[in-house]
Amino acid sequence: MSENDVLFLTAEQAAALIRRRALSPVEYINAVLAAAERAQPALNAFVTLLHDRAREAARAAERQVMEGAPLGPLHGVPVSIKDQVDTAGIHTTHGSAIFADNVPARDDILVTRLREAGAILIGKTRMPEFGHKGMTDGPSFGVTPNPWDLSRTSGGSSGGAAAALAVGLGPIALGTDGAGSIRIPAACCGVVGLKPTLGLVPWEASTDAFGNYTYAGPMARSVTDAAVMLRSMAGPSPRDPWSLNGPTLSGPSAGLVGGDLSGLRVGFIERAANPRLDRDMETNARASLDVLAAMGAAVESVADPIDWIEFPGRVMYQGNFAVAMAKHLPEWRDRMDPVLLAFMERGEGFSMAHFRQAQYARTGLFRAVQALMERYDVLVSPTLTRTALPADFDAADDEVEVEGERCGITRQGWSAYVYPFNLTGHPALTVPSGFARDGLPTGVQIIGRWGADMDVLRLGALLEAARPWAQNRPPAMVTPAPGAALTGPPGQVLPVRG
């Protein structure tokens, strides 16, 4: 097996080979780390590469295989962790100079569970400062571009994870999603990303546990890998109240077990808060719907006049950042991302009445989606309105252009389909749906009933089987010769820590 073939194994394939002693965890980890080093100068996907720790863990994993010890479902499989998730003894910087020297004393429970499943941590992936935007760049580390076109963004805020997956730097990654931050980069980079049901996967890092709409979730190149990862992470944590009596992970509904979807009712969301949809995005989304219809599903457009609460959602989002980040301004303002500062300034302009009205609107949106779920089993939408934005797009002030028409800020013009389901709590999966004329990936989003995460994964797997995507790989230009400068501010070379 060539090194390139090894890099593009699924986690399920790699774990099976390791269990059969047909693949050495040590050789596997070495291949992934070497590829990550080669890709880092152009891709800038990692904050930290854990060379010594990962190799030590791989040697231990190999000993366990040879000794016949019980093995977890991800035994010997490399996983990357977003820089927002605590890792004991490993820098967790939140994409910010403020936390450049932050080394947590404990692992987040999800890191613990992934380790217990046998996964080997290879590095921490890039994110914008505190995950505030749908692009991955920042004043402290430069840009993490899209591996399909280095002039475009990888998306955000889990952009480093998505970019790394797309070029074979591990088959699975842990991302987080506060307003589409798993699904946006997954769609931009042509991989799979799931925002689980609220409470299914605990999120211990929330500063407002009871008002939370941020989620941790799996990212992968295959739906099966996302499902295996989800099963490894699901379950309550005493630090997350939503998880204590939250949904439990069960199998897919009986009507989804086979390939006959005659009982499935699908509602297609053609527009959310966005005024326009790129024709390639729509064509590829409809091609995915055609697959479901060919299997017997009844597909119809959602005609209900839903208020997708774009502005109230913005009030909560920017208002939260204004309050949470205010303590850092006296010392760090000059080194913080200007987009984050702009969001904070706008958030400071909202009153308590605005904020409470926005929370009431969140309840209204939840009930509107619940009403749709009485009529449909799943909802489907494009994940984004167009392919990845330019890497130098100003997310604070620039307007998104869709087929030459200016369509508003990113939340209106680009990612309007994703944030509503952070607010309602329903599971939302993005899977690749094809490519647009510009050569970049497109994605389709599947939204399920509360707790029906395995249903959306099952439908994603059916789409994957009918319209496979894993054979598509980004151009080789993302793995330049060693020693090239990293993407970043002019003249700045950005080494990974480790």
Q: Which position has the higher pLDDT, 495 or 196? A: 196
Q: Up-side HSE of residue 221: CA atoms within 13 Å toward CB?
A: 24
108 in any annotated domain = yes
Flag whether pLDDT at 75 surpasses 70.
yes
Q: How far apart are CA 32 and CA 265, in angstroms?
A: 42
Greatest C-alpha distance within the chain: 63
Q: How far apart are CA 127 and CA 134, in angstroms?
A: 9
Flag whether pLDDT at 356 surpasses 50.
yes
pLDDT of residue 476: 61
pLDDT of residue 3: 82
Query: What letter does residue 476 receive in the DSSP assignment?
Result: G
Flag whether pLDDT at 122 surpasses 50.
yes
Q: Which helix (H) or strand (E) holds 321?
A: helix 310-325
Q: What is the pLDDT of residues 319-331, one digit of tens each?
A: 999 999 999 999 9
What is the model's pTM? 0.96
7 in any annotated domain = yes
pLDDT of residue 71: 98
Q: How far apart are CA 388 and CA 478, in angstroms?
A: 17
Long-range residue pairs from 240-246, CB within 8 A, at least 24 positions apart, any chain? 240/199, 240/202, 240/203, 240/204, 240/206, 240/209, 240/212, 241/209, 241/210, 242/198, 242/199, 242/202, 242/203, 242/209, 242/212, 243/199, 243/200, 243/201, 243/202, 245/199, 246/197, 246/198, 246/199, 246/200
pLDDT band at 485 (very low <50, low <70, confident <90, very high): very low
Rg of the Cα atoms in the chain: 21
C-alpha distances in angstroms, 191 versus 138, 198, 290, 465, 496? 23, 22, 21, 15, 24
Q: What is the pLDDT of residues 268-298, one digit of tens each?
A: 999 999 999 999 999 999 999 999 999 999 9
Q: Up-side HSE of residue 208: CA atoms within 13 Å toward CB?
A: 12
Phi, psi of 446 (to 5 degrees): -115, 125
pLDDT band at 475 (very low <50, low <70, confident <90, very high): confident
320 in any annotated domain = no
Flag whether pLDDT at 491 surpasses 90.
no
**CB 98, CB 329: distance < 8 Å:** no
Q: Which CATH number covers residue 36? A: 3.90.1300.10
Query: Which sequence positions are flagged as catalytic?
Result: 82, 157, 181
Q: What is the pLDDT of residues 77-110, one digit of tens each?
A: 999 999 999 999 999 999 999 999 999 999 999 9
pLDDT band at 1 (very low <50, low <70, confident <90, very high): confident
> Any idea which residue has 């689980």 for tokens?
196
Query: What letter does residue 440 receive in the DSSP assignment?
Result: -
Strand ranges inside 191-232, DSSP E: 192-195, 215-220
438 in any annotated domain = yes
Q: How far apart are CA 372 and CA 352, in angstroms?
A: 31
- Contacts of residue 303, defined as CB under 8 A and 6 or more positions apart, other chains included, come to none
pLDDT of residue 369: 98
336 in any annotated domain = no
Domain of 397? Answer: 3-311+351-478
Q: What is the pLDDT of residues 383-439, one digit of tens each?
A: 999 999 999 999 999 999 999 999 999 999 999 999 999 999 999 999 999 999 999
302 in any annotated domain = yes
pLDDT of residue 270: 97
Q: What is the pLDDT of residues 29-58, one digit of tens each?
A: 999 999 999 999 999 999 999 999 999 999
Least confidently predicted of 144-158, 216-230, 342-356, 470-484:
470-484
User: Whole-number mean pLDDT of the chain?
Assistant: 95
318 in any annotated domain = no
Q: Which position has the higher pLDDT, 208 or 482? A: 208
Quote the percentage of the chain above a pLDDT of 70: 95
pLDDT of residue 480: 44
296 in any annotated domain = yes
**CB 183, CB 445: distance < 8 Å:** yes
Q: Please give the structure tokens belonging to residue 241.
A: 């109240």
Number of domains in the chain: 1
pLDDT of residue 497: 58
Flag whether pLDDT at 5 surpasses 80.
yes
C-beta neighbour count of 345 within 10 angstroms: 13
